[in-house]
A and B are shown apart, each in its own frame.
Chain A
Amino acid sequence: MTHSNEVNQVAEELPLGETPWQETLRIFKKDRLAVVGSIVLVFLVLTAVFGKALTEWVVVFDPEVIRLPDKFKPPLSFPSEDIVPPEDLPSVGIYLLGTDELGRDVFARMLQGSFVSLAVGFIAVGISVFIGILLGGLSGFYGNVKLGIITVDTLIMRFTDVMLCFPTFFLILTVVALLGQSILNIMVVIGLTSWMGTARFVRAEFLALRKQDFVVAATSLGLPERRIIFRHMVPNAIAPVLVSATIGVATAILTESALSFLGFGVQPPDATWGNILADGKGFIFDAPWLFFIPGIAILVVVLAFNLVGEGLREAMNPKLRRR
């Protein structure tokens, strides 16, 4: 009987009179892994923004300079000043993470890549969440409206089933391969193939919420639908969306790296961690850092996203916390 006591103790400690968000935050803070994960994420976002700034706007780290004589320098090595022309030397005077096959500064490339990788993740998830909420919401709220012979709900849910019919990765691969792998295509395709889960549980949430007292009350008071949806229902359904979006970003980054591995990822000149890793794999015996640095970076970041998502899930799960 020992383990179950812990669960009960958690429940007993609940102070009264805090809002659900405060409660969520409090529980979230208890999850040390999730806290570490969120620190990593904050750091990552800063890196991405500074990375963008330092590699493109105020060029401190230039990811594009090629110095062939300085190829495959290990991390923390100094440039060969006698061969490389002075204007091409790294501005900090050292290759923090070494150089790649063309003598480009891996640190600068990783900085530049962090922004692109994150952008791919966020935009793809943005698209998928948008479609998911839209279709799930429509289906959940207006599900009974008839369009000819079928209801909106049937139509949308059948379409969701159609989309689920394709093996996702294979579908992404097919579309990206056939339509060309521009960064935009990749983001859109990942987004367009990953909204089905969101749509399904937004619909479920809406269906449940519609029967809840406060919505029934609001409806009978004659409040406009828009207001009911956006003021009462969306905020209540947003919690699981947030969780799945956090994990979705992680998945999108992984998907991009898998596509890169098969040669269908984001193409140069855009560097992403995925394509740095995929390029680096060929040199695993010659320049292992080209393989390990992006690999570990992806691991850490995706892990952070996942842990934060998991922390949020735990913290927001009403069934688990009110017990």
Chain B
Amino acid sequence: MNLKRWLLIAPFLLTVFLLQSYFWVPTYEKQATGNPKRLVTYIEGSIADAKILNPILNADTASSGIVSHVFEGMLDLDENLDLRGRLATDWTIMERAYLAVNPYNRFPDGAEVTGSRVADRITTALSRGQLPALEKIVRSVRVLPPERRTETVPVQVKGKDGKPTTVEVPVTLEVPERVAFSLTQVDQDFFTRLTPIIGDRYLKHFPYEQHVHMPDDAGSEIEAQIRSRFPELLPVAEHNPEILFHLRKGVRFHDGHEFDAGDVKFTYEAIMNPKNLSPRTSDFEPIKRVEILDSHTLRVVYKRLYSPAINAWTMGILPEHLLNEETMQREMETRGLSQAARESFGMRDSQFNRNPIGSGRFVFVEWDSDEFIHLTRFEEYWEGPPEYHDYYMRPLPDSLTQEVEFHAGAVDYYATLPHQVARYKADPKYQAFSSLGFGYTYIGYNNRLPLFADPGVRRALGMAINTEEFITYLLYGEGERVTGPYPKNTEWYDHSVEPLPYDPEGARRLLEELGWKLNADGWLEKDGKIFEFNLITNLGNSVRKNIMTIAQNAWKKIGVKCNPAIFEWAVFLKDFVNTAEFDAVVLGWSMGIDPDLYQIWHSSQAGPQQLNFVGYDNPRADDLIVRIRREYNRDRQRDLAHQLHQLIHEDQPYTFLYAPLGTRVLDKKIVLVNRLEDGSERYEKIFPIKSGDISFYFQRWRKLDFTPEF
């Protein structure tokens, strides 16, 4: 019977066809040994695909990984976490300070204040050695003539529909004579050091009303807002730090175009262009202007004291010629966009973000979404091309398949979990690295709630948790205790601060002193209310989930009732964290290398959608935080940071738990290659630098066809 036969033959043929394909596929074994190209190819497995390959637009880990290979910044961090020149060969930080002449003031001796008199008296004092701290740093003193200019100030008002809208108000400024100082280094106390000469009232009283003119029809609400910003519009004493960059000559983008100062300026302007929706605007917002002095010299002038601002220049530099107005116009033409689309067309819409061209070590080749991103080495890289010829990133969304592919050698690296590292460490085939990174995990209490208002309560809750045990068993030792807000491997961290002891008995005693007594059901009770709160965290982080379970268990033992709940990240932020509608959270921070903690700990940053969501509020801490970000001297900065660390540790707004160790597992065949003068090669075992990063020397990595012994 025909049909019957076909019904049986069809599945048979299909099966045979599908299964025979097995014989064409190279086994893992063959891929590894039979293919010499594999040794110079690095394949990295990643949970997520990259989103957007543009240094000024990306915000996710996968993208920034690729971007850091394709683009290069002006600076980066060296082995010791100090800044190092890349596209810039060197840089100098100086300051220009301006002191407005305040004619309604008098000198301490009663003389009237004029520009030339201020300048003269200060110059004289300097030459007589009356201002010892300033002697070496003041390079010149000049008087600037008065000027009149108009600025538009954005002000938030309630619109007709009741929603807050922004209006631009033109404000006329009558700038008086000013004395300009050129300083060889930045000094946040420069003006207070001048008080012996100008008098201590000078800086505090200035008749803004007579120098700032608002439009007549502004209305009282707008006027009040502008008035509150007078000191900012017309500062009496203004610090303008400056950085002078000398750029590296002869560096080329991957398309052969030469890099120069124009590209740097363009990158800055692209970030600040509102159309581009860059998430980095706040890093570059302190910049007043960028001046091109010649094709390879550049001066960046800042509006105010903000020492971490220089770190922003580690960001990759864009090629101007591929993204300027003209090219964008051309792209819009080619794509035949409608009028509406043209109006909102910014850099985010450009195809450049999927075919990036930079000046970094690797040249972008191809991106198949969710499949791979392929880079190949840049032969003309100014520091010489990397050892690896090709670089792939493969998005593998499932953690188990990642592990399978790694085992089989189809992936050279993936983000290993602690329990996996414990297994690999025992395997002679692999080399494993654990080192401190910049992150830490904590339990944050909503400091605004009466329940957590007392630091003693927060301390007691922290003492009830056995962090050591947690690190030993759940992290397999891949974590270190932390006591404060700074990364442990930076100099800002104060190692003399002792962690909270694990002492549930002591915790209970402490709570009892604060009035919490055990009731009949075994819960702590005070004024008829039992000690109960919700502990939340975000979905998808199994370690945090475990911390939550463990904390709940530990607190139960001292009579504190905690209800854990997990929410998806978007919900977690919108409904709980941003609105401060939570009791306690388990979360982690990944810090930068600068000691600026303004956004996370300053009391002004506790509003909705801000990062001090626990509502920490300590005036002493606020003062320290502001001083740290204005300090340009590293030693002084370190002292202040240590004070801040101790203060926060005393207050325990968080229970600081641990800093996870970054774990990396690699095949032992991957080594550092040192090329010697005579052309031979010497191999070295890969090692982590101070920041914990092992890929600092990635450019010298290569896989050998044998396992070396070190």
Please tell me whether chains A and B touch each other in their complex, using a CB distance cut-off of 8 A. yes
Residues of B within 8 A of A181 (CB): 539, 568
Interface pair A268/B549, CB less than 8 Å apart: yes
Interface residues in B404-435 (C-beta closer than 8 Å to A): 417, 419, 423
Interface pair A68/B545, CB less than 8 Å apart: no
Interface residues in A156-187 (C-beta closer than 8 Å to B): 177, 180-181
Stretch at the interface among B248-256, B559-567, B632-640: B559-567
Which one of B417, B423, B539 lies within 8 Å of A282 (CB-CB)?
A: B417
Stretch at the interface among B110-118, B469-477, B521-529, B676-684: B469-477
Which one of A64, A103, A264, A282 lies within 8 Å of B399 (CB-CB)?
A: A282
Q: How far is the CB of A127 from chain B (nearest CB, A)?
A: 23
- Closest residue of A by beta carbon distance from B472: A68
- Assuming the contacts A64-B553, A102-B549, asked whether A286 and B417 have C-beta atoms less than 8 A apart, the reply is no
Interface residues in A255-284 (C-beta closer than 8 Å to B): 263-264, 267-269, 279, 281-284
Interface pair A66/B542, CB less than 8 Å apart: no
Interface pair A279/B419, CB less than 8 Å apart: no
Interface residues in A120-137 (C-beta closer than 8 Å to B): none
Interface of B is mostly: helix
Instruction: State the CA gap A65–B403 with chains docked (Å).
Output: 30
A101 within 8 A of B: yes
Contact with A along B529-540 (1 / 0, CB 8 A): 000000000011
- Assuming the contacts A263-B539, A281-B400, A282-B542, asked whether A102 and B564 have C-beta atoms less than 8 A apart, the reply is no
B133 within 8 A of A: no
Interface residues in A94-129 (C-beta closer than 8 Å to B): 101-103
Instruction: State the CA gap A269–B551 with chains docked (Å).
Output: 13
Q: Contacts A65-B553, A285-B423 given; 4 further ones with Cβ under 8 A?
A: A101-B546, A102-B549, A279-B542, A282-B542
Which one of B399, B419, B474, B566 lies within 8 Å of A68 (CB-CB)?
A: B474
Which one of B399, B400, B566, B571 lies within 8 Å of A268 (CB-CB)?
A: B566
B550 within 8 A of A: yes
Interface residues in A39-69 (C-beta closer than 8 Å to B): 64-66, 68-69
A71 within 8 A of B: yes
Q: How far is the CB of B683 from chain A (nearest CB, A)?
A: 31
Interface pair B469/A286, CB less than 8 Å apart: no
Interface pair A68/B539, CB less than 8 Å apart: no
Residues of B within 8 A of A101 (CB): 419, 474, 546
Residues of B within 8 A of A283 (CB): 419
Interface pair B419/A286, CB less than 8 Å apart: yes
Q: How far is the CB of B502 from chain A (nearest CB, A)?
A: 13
Instruction: State the CA gap A181–B644 with chains docked (Å).
Output: 40
- Closest residue of B by beta carbon distance from A281: B400
Interface pair B553/A71, CB less than 8 Å apart: no
- Closest residue of A by beta carbon distance from B397: A262
Instruction: State the CA gap A68–B472 with chains docked (Å).
Output: 9
Report the contact-size class of chain A (Cβ under 8 Å from the partner): 20 to 34
Q: How far is the CB of A109 from chain B (nearest CB, A)?
A: 12
Contact with A along B456-488 (1 / 0, CB 8 A): 000000000000011011100000000000000
- Assuming the contacts A102-B474, A263-B539, A281-B400, asked whether A68 and B469 have C-beta atoms less than 8 A apart, the reply is yes
Interface pair B473/A68, CB less than 8 Å apart: yes
Residues of A within 8 A of B542 (CB): 279, 282
Interface pair B564/A269, CB less than 8 Å apart: yes
Instruction: State the CA gap A180–B575 with chains docked (Å).
Output: 11
- Assuming the contacts A180-B568, A269-B564, asked whether A102 and B550 have C-beta atoms less than 8 A apart, the reply is yes
Instruction: State the CA gap A315–B403 with chains docked (Å).
Output: 48
- Assuming the contacts A102-B546, A180-B567, A263-B539, asked whether A282 and B473 have C-beta atoms less than 8 A apart, the reply is no
For A65, A68, A264, which residue has the most chain B Cβ atoms within 10 angstroms?
A68
- Closest residue of A by beta carbon distance from B470: A68
Residues of A within 8 A of B417 (CB): 282
Pairs across A and B, CB under 8 Å, 25 listed? A64-B553, A65-B553, A66-B550, A68-B470, A68-B473, A68-B550, A69-B473, A71-B473, A71-B474, A102-B546, A102-B550, A103-B473, A177-B568, A181-B568, A263-B540, A267-B539, A267-B566, A268-B564, A268-B566, A282-B400, A282-B417, A283-B419, A285-B423, A286-B419, A286-B423
Instruction: State the CA gap A145–B619 with chains docked (Å).
Output: 73
Instruction: State the CA gap A66–B539 with chains docked (Å).
Output: 21
Interface residues in B621-660 (C-beta closer than 8 Å to A): none
- Closest residue of B by beta carbon distance from A269: B564
- Closest residue of B by beta carbon distance from A64: B553
Instruction: State the CA gap A103–B472 with chains docked (Å).
Output: 13
Interface pair B571/A180, CB less than 8 Å apart: yes
Residues of A within 8 A of B548 (CB): 268
Instruction: State the CA gap A69–B470 with chains docked (Å).
Output: 10
Contact with A along B568-583 (1 / 0, CB 8 A): 1001000000000000
Residues of B within 8 A of A102 (CB): 474, 546, 549-550
Instruction: State the CA gap A263–B472 with chains docked (Å).
Output: 26
Contact with B along A276-305 (1 / 0, CB 8 A): 000101111110000000000000000000
Residues of B within 8 A of A269 (CB): 549, 564
